[in-house]
Amino acid sequence: MRYSPTLVDHFLNPRNAGLMRDPDGIGEDEYEGCGDLTRFFLRVCDGRAVEVRFQTYGCGPTIAAASVASELCRGRTVDDLGHLEAEEIEGALEWLPQDRKHAAEIAAGALRAAARDHLSRGRRHV
């Protein structure tokens, strides 16, 4: 089997996809090898991500990685999101083929960028 049932489910039924009005943090990352792009929007309350939404353009694993990452990160501190690693997202997807590992990497990179954006706005506890 090339993809796990979890990955297929998140691809077919992405969670938290779409824009967010007036987010507290925005971040994106891109894989230049194929042009896949993921953008995350954060709503933060008391230093924690209370809502996480995304837009992504790319292959099925990239969509699935953004979806699973949006669920993994809700409720976590913004500081924690600033250190998120691709391996955690890949683990939640129950494996990625070598040629699709970029999916977890750009999801993690986009979430770290959104956390940095929020912190740069000086609104740690909005």
Q: Give tens-digit pLDDT for 74-106.
A: 999 999 999 999 999 999 999 899 999 999 999
Domain residue ranges in the chain? 5-120
C-alpha–C-alpha distance, residues 99 and 102, integer Å: 7
The pLDDT confidence band at residue 2, using thresholds 50, 70 and 90, is confident
Could you tell me the pTM of the whole model? 0.92
Question: 104 to each of 24, 50, 126, how far by Cα in Å?
Answer: 23, 21, 28
Q: Residues 50-79, buried b or exposed e (16+ Cβ, 10 A)?
A: eebbbbbebbebbbbbbbbbbebbbebbbe
C-alpha–C-alpha distance, residues 57 and 25, integer Å: 19
The matching CATH number, chosen from 3.20.20.20, 3.90.1010.10, 3.40.250.10, 3.50.50.60, for 5-120 is 3.90.1010.10
Q: Which residue has the tokens 């979890």?
A: 6
Q: Which residue has the tokens 């699709």?
A: 100
